[in-house]
Chain A
Amino acid sequence: MQTGQGRSELAQVFPPAADTFLRFAVVGIALLLLGLALGGWEFAESTYVTQEGWVEAQPVPFSHRHHVSDDGMDCRYCHTSVEEGPHAGLPPTHTCMTCHSQIWTGADPLAPVRQSQQTGEPIRWRRVAQLPDYVYFDHSIHIDRGVGCVECHGRVDQMPLTWRAKPFQMEFCLDCHRDPEARLRPPQLVTRMEPLGWSEAQARAFGRRVMAEHAIDPGLLDNCGICHR
């Protein structure tokens, strides 16, 4: 083994401050990584990504608030297939024109609707409630079990223009699939937008009864194959 004698002739490779630099660098890199992770998480959770509360520009400035709150229309008047099939369905131009051939017949904002009726070209809406392609959501079974529209779509009756009320991320779905109790209501009230006025205990008691009646087992509801195929 060599002794230290030969080494003393060599110049110092690292200056005395090298240790300090190293310490700062280690801490700095750690902080940077942590910051990136936290920032990334925040970004992924941000409403920019989830689109929660962001209004989509639509060809027709359709107001759910006006049609639901002022006119008192039921969701199912337009979203006709919500009880039968996986999709709630957007109304065909024909449905819009049942009323708008009589009222607001010349209104400027409705020009694309009239044009669609004349040309046979569909209105190109921008989707607000949108799930990834690998998620298979079925409206009909949720309605059948008494999950209110408001649970996922929010107070649509208060939206002058439509926005996404809830973050449609997996966590949001799983919250309910793992604990549906407090989110079930009588089927005849699924489209009701106003709060039912139930206490948490009342809601849970009702939910428990529905779950027993329909054999809803939250243990089966959070398996991947329920939504992913």
Chain B
Amino acid sequence: MSDGEQPGDRAPPATGRQFWRSLDELIDEPAFQARLARRFPAIARHAGDWRRRDILKCLGGAVALAGLDGCERAPDEEALPFVEAPEGHVPGIARSYATAFEYEGIAQPLIGKTREGRPIKLEGNPQHPASRGATDAITQAALLGLYDPDRSAAPRRLGAPADWALFDTELAALRERLDSTQGSGFRLLTGSTRSPTLLRQIGALLERWPRARWHAWSPVADGAGSGLPARQTRRLHLGEAHATVAFDADPLGPGPLQTWHATGWGQRRRAYQAGDGAAQLLVAEPTPTLTGIIAGERLIARADRMEPLLRALARALGVSGGGSAPRLSPAEQAFVAQAAKALDEQRGHGLVLVAEHHAPELQALARQIDAALGNLGRTSELAAQRGGPTAASLAELARDMAARQVETLFVLEANPLYAAPPALQFNRLFARVKQRIHAGLHVDETGAASHWHLPLAHALESWSDGEAADGSILLAQPLVRPWMNVRSRHELLSGLLGDPTPDRALVRATWALDGPQWAAALVQGWVDAPPPAQSAASASPEERPVLRTSSASATGLSLLVRPDPSIWDGSFASNPWLQETPKPLTKITWGNAVHISPALAEERGLANGDLVRLEAGGHSVTGPVWIVPGQERDTVLVHLGHGRSAGSRVAEGVGFSATPLLGLSPDADVRLTRMEGRDEVVTTQAHFRMEPDEFVRFVETAADPLPPEEPRPSFYPPQESKPAWGMAIDLDLCIGCNACVVACVAENNVPMVGKKQVAKGREMHWLRVDRYHSGSPDDPEHAFQPVPCMHCENAPCEMGCPVNAAVHSPDGLNLQVYNRCIGTRTCSAYCPYKVRRFNWFDYTGGDPPELKAQRNPDVTVRQRGVMEKCTYCIQRISDARIAAKKEDRPIADGEVVTACQAACPTQAIVFGDVSEADTQVSRKKATGRDYDLLAEANTRPRTTYQARIRKGERPA
């Protein structure tokens, strides 16, 4: 990558054409001037005299001639039918398969949609309780991971391409050695996986070679202190929790449990809206999280204040174990009093949560409170662990490596050279291991430093199984046959044991189902396995190193290191869909920042983008700061996953790595020093700004309607049609998780543009999630607002288009006809909601074939120079319309589900026919909380919003 080029920017198209931004820029280029002087000395003399007007004249001529392009005869195309058509295949009709995608040890239940054998979209499995059809952003983007052009395609030995046969020979020698030494010196390091088949294979391995050891490690679960119960010891049922008090915990935040928790929360909140019980959320936290933002009460408190707060709560509820009365500030006292009142009122339906990176005593105390109030077993239960081999930790591996007891290290789906805490000195120790084998999707930092790198099959092209968030067992079946020379993790392990078996047979052997049972399990996507017996051992808190947030340090700063909300621990850093997704809270794309509070920024004189060095425990990172309203004064937050140095072109060089700050002792001093210079942080927060309005409206309780509004007069006749499509977005349910944004990208072939273009406000997302603050920057009220196209009945864009490319359909869609559009961008200027996106460049033409294979064939891939925007997923409407017409019936309510609606875990987005009173969307719009965005523009938008409800108490 050359100097000045931003990471993540698109490589020039395969045609070799380089784009320039303006003609002036091209002419000023010294190389161009030199070439001109050489070939046309006469022109070169005048080249500098070119005026803007002359250039425009030439441009006008070129544009006029470009019209001739339309006279071209359509190029000949080939049609390649099958030799043997697969059974049941109908060209143009999608087929769906139940499957699963595991990350951070939790499998997500999915339905994979394929067209002509190519997976084109993932949806949540609507039958499974851990999804109910919803997905999170990371799972949505897993599809692109399958097609990643930078995925490792062949085995590599000492960095040079090799073949599997050579590896198998080496493996045979290794096996012989291990058989003779009972596996002495052999270590297997995996990421956090709960796949029963993999555990079974590891069990067999340890049985055959008793002196070998298995280490499992994840940077998030084992050190980052994500605030997430990644090693889920306690399973939450937020659907049952009428009052939840969370201490630094973020159950609705990004991660593998988000869908499960948010589905439950949405269910509870909708019931509350309908008058059934309460849905209270009280959160004490040092930095704004998705849970904190949606909470009725949010207390800003340092991470080390969680202990006194929880003890005070225990005392207030009369639970022993609270100890002596802690000293609390008035705000803290008020919070504890409110929390105690809420929990007391909701005995049996309350829930007390403490983030899992806090001390086990605190976890125990929270459980004690729940037990005393009769909540245990209803709002949460202990997650029983399935049997299997026990894994040792990464620290133990490092210790043994230091003692030179490790001869062969097999790293499966883990990247310790990037993500291991610096205290372990893993890089140095790794180089001393005699035989290093790495299996992964990319030649990442660990792969590059290994003797053997083995390309792993992606989860969506291999067989596996995994444990869902609710504890059930999911089967993962491939959506496509691997097209590269890869092996699945199960095949690798069976090969290691000298019995190479296809992964399908391995998974099937784990579950020992007969033919019909196996077929039924594959159709539904899960195995009806009995839940594991709750052993006494699993009831006690799991013993593992606890990372306390550094506290009481000299400078008074408290450091939080958390996984990135988009790319997690870095495993998804090569995914442009996730890199370009604006992070929920900061709207930062393509990178990370040091999050600080407004007060700290003022004190240190720091502005957004100023470079700082963050030091703790002798380690430091350098990065730009970002001021986060509502962050605790002395709390500093950094996200993991960035600053990759190998793996893929997309991942490398984006942001800075926070790994050096992992695994610090709690007493480490945290220092923030200003550095020279600035680094560009690209955020979409200020993009597509609308005229001032009361964007997000609030009501106090579910029973309060918004003040009625006078209907505004209009010169335009009212639109009446059947069906009349419309959308309702309930801001009381929206948690800002971005699942809808990535689902829209996947469904509608939305191109990614890279960091430089995003910085210019040219991101192409059809659906953006706006984030608003109100009140003081130190403790503002936060709100999210997803903004797709409003499909206005009186759409200003349609009035502005000179070529009638923006037109209205009889069923109320605001259409954009790409083949008519000439790119004047008038519609975008006229749009008060700023939801139209312009293709400044050919963002897709130069894509490699594997990315082209991912695209949804039902949606036009837009060309350079045309405007595009949300279509209400018109391809899904068309499918439903054709299906209904064939049966001569109207389209049923709920038959058309837009991509954003399907992905939403809280069901905040509802779509349907607004001309019927009895549809879900009409009922939503009739709640009394319904309002139009920018109502004074009188565009009569078909997308309307439901006001957020401040409180969640049961109505008196």
Contact = CB atoms under 8 A, between A and B. Distances in A.
Contacts of B73: 48-49, 51
B92 A86 contact: yes
B809 A94 contact: no
Contacts of B861: 133
Interface stretch (B414-422, B881-889, B921-929): B881-889
Contacts of A127: 76-79
A214 to B, nearest CB: 6
Given A93-B81, A229-B858, A229-B859, A140 B882 contact: yes
B815 interface: yes
A8 B809 CA distance: 69
A48 B73 CA distance: 7
Interface in B716-741: none
A132 B72 CA distance: 12
Interface in A118-136: 120-127, 130, 132-134, 136
A48 B882 CA distance: 34
Interface in B64-86: 68, 70-71, 73-74, 76-85
A229 B90 contact: no
Nearest to A86: B92
A140 B16 CA distance: 42
Nearest to B94: A85
B802 interface: no
B83 A122 contact: yes
A141 B884 CA distance: 10
Interface string A142-173: 00110000000000000000000000000000
B860 interface: yes
Interface string B842-871: 000000000000000011110000000001
B847 to A, nearest CB: 15
A93 B92 contact: no
B818 interface: yes
Name the residue in A89, A123, A226, A229 with the highest tally of chain B Cβ atoms < 10 Å from its Cβ: A229
A53 interface: no
Contacts, number: 125
Contacts of B871: 229
A93 B84 contact: yes
Contact of B85 (A94, A116, A136): A94
A13 interface: no
B91 A123 contact: no
Contacts of A84: 90, 93
* Interface size range on B against A: 35 or more
Nearest to B860: A134
A220 interface: yes
Nearest to A49: B73
A31 interface: no
B56 interface: no
Given A81-B90, A127-B79, A140-B882, A132 B810 contact: no
B810 A223 contact: yes
B813 interface: yes
B83 A85 contact: no
B897 interface: no
Interface in A199-222: 213-215, 219-220
A197 interface: no
A58 to B, nearest CB: 10
Given A49-B71, A224-B809, A224-B815, A93 B83 contact: yes
Given A92-B83, A93-B81, A224-B807, A87 B92 contact: yes
Given A56-B76, A130-B74, A228 B860 contact: yes
A132 B819 CA distance: 10
Contacts of A133: 860-861
B79 A138 contact: no
Nearest to B813: A225
A43 interface: yes
Given A116-B83, A219-B810, A228 B78 contact: no
Interface in B197-239: none
A67 to B, nearest CB: 16
Contact of B80 (A89, A124, A214): A124
A40 interface: yes
A130 B886 contact: no
Interface in B562-594: none
B919 interface: no
A116 B860 CA distance: 32
Given A81-B90, A223-B810, A224-B815, A121 B83 contact: yes
B860 A125 contact: no
A122 B874 contact: no
Interface in A75-105: 81, 84-87, 89-94
A140 B878 CA distance: 13
B523 interface: no
Interface string A45-66: 0001101000010000000000
A86 B875 CA distance: 12
A153 to B, nearest CB: 15
A229 B818 CA distance: 8
B81 A44 contact: no
Contacts of B859: 229
B886 A122 contact: no
B202 to A, nearest CB: 39
A117 interface: yes
Contacts of B815: 223-225, 228
Contacts of B858: 136, 229
B878 A229 contact: yes
A130 B77 contact: yes
Nearest to B80: A122
Contacts of A49: 71, 73
B115 to A, nearest CB: 11
Given A81-B91, A133-B860, A134-B860, A92 B77 contact: no
Interface string B73-117: 110111111111100001111000000000000000000000000
Contacts of B818: 134, 228
Chain A to chain B: the 8 pairs with minimum beta-carbon distance, closest first: A90-B81, A86-B92, A92-B82, A122-B80, A87-B91, A85-B92, A92-B85, A85-B90
14 contacts: A85-B91, A89-B81, A120-B83, A124-B79, A125-B80, A127-B79, A138-B878, A140-B882, A140-B886, A141-B882, A141-B885, A223-B815, A224-B807, A224-B817
Given A44-B70, A123-B81, A127-B78, 6 more contacts: A40-B71, A125-B80, A133-B861, A141-B886, A225-B874, A229-B878
Interface of A: 40, 43-44, 48-49, 51, 56, 81, 84-87, 89-94, 116-117, 120-127, 130, 132-134, 136, 138, 140-141, 144-145, 213-215, 219-220, 223-226, 228-229
